[in-house]
Amino acid sequence: MSDNITPLNNHAFGNAVGTSAVERNRVLRNTYVLLAVSLLPTVLGAYLGVSTGLSRVFSGWMGLIVMMAGAFGFIYAIEKTKNSSKGVYVLLGFTLFMGLVMSSLIARVLGFRNGASLVMTAFGGTAGVFFVMATLATTIKRDLSGMSKWLFWGAVVLMLGSIINVFVGSTMGMAAISTLAIGIFSAYMLYDIKQVIDGGETNYISATLAIYLDLINIFQSLLSLLGIFGGEKD
């Protein structure tokens, strides 16, 4: 099985400065709440994409163009509105869009005899990564801000590799990209959560966007790998 996965992140937009412990805890709490809420439109978008056939719009190189234009447009709009309540609604609109984007991969995996179990396994695996990274972020005392440059360039390499693989269509290439993406975005998740805990990010909408993108990239990568190596054809 081969499908396109293009990693996205919003770290080029920058982070805020530090603040008090009370404020940091408030931002972290609001981030987790909004992150949980944001998953609902994602599930709805994925369901609509699979059930209506809209998933076909996001396949192939044309789908890549639609996805990239829509995603970066939403990310820009979220950063512009993050200091008002409008930012929450724009973020939720983005998560709905990302559900539609993922529906192409999900529909393909559901075409396997064991597709539903693969989707649930990818979801459980992503939840497990989040739990581990969130736990590490609360226990690690050292400053992780130095990771940002290496993670950013890692994401750039992943994006370029994904774009190239759309035209090459290599299953093993996609497997390699997916494996690397899981590692990079797991580290990104640790970094992003630690930024909130340390006060490096004080806007919960921006924090939610960053962690949400980490989750989505990990989920897509896990699902792609499961489809490649574990999909059972009829």
Place of tokens 């992150």: 35
- Residue 9 domain flag: no
Residue 31: pLDDT above 90?
Answer: yes
User: Is residue 207, in this structure, part of any structural domain at all?
Assistant: yes
Return the pLDDT at 143. Answer: 85
Mean pLDDT of the chain: 88
pLDDT at 5: 55
Residue 46 lies in a domain: yes
> CA–CA separation, 173 vs 153, rounded Å?
19
Task: Give the pLDDT mean for 18-33.
Answer: 87
Beta-carbon count within 10 A of 35 CB: 19
Closest to 188 measured CA to CA, from 155, 140, 156, 219 = 155
Asked if residue 6 belongs to a domain, the reply is no
- Each residue's pLDDT tens digit, 68-78: 899 999 999 99
Any domain includes 3: no
The Cα–Cα gap between 160 and 150 comes to 16
Check pLDDT > 60 for residue 153.
yes
CA-based R_g, the chain, Å: 17
| pLDDT score, position 170 | 83
Domain span at residue 57 reads 18-230
Domain presence at residue 222: yes
| Domain assignment of residue 181, yes or no | yes
pLDDT confidence tier of residue 19, bands split at 50, 70 and 90: low
Task: Tell me, yes or no, whether 48 lies in a domain.
Answer: yes
Banded model confidence at residue 6, pLDDT cuts 50, 70, 90: low
Could you tell me which of 211, 181, 223, 174 has the C-alpha nearest to residue 95?
211
Q: Provide mean pLDDT across the span 42-62.
A: 88
The answer to whether the pTM exceeds 0.85 is: yes
State the pLDDT at residue 2. Answer: 43
The predicted structure's pLDDT at residue 221? 95
How many domains is the chain built from? 1
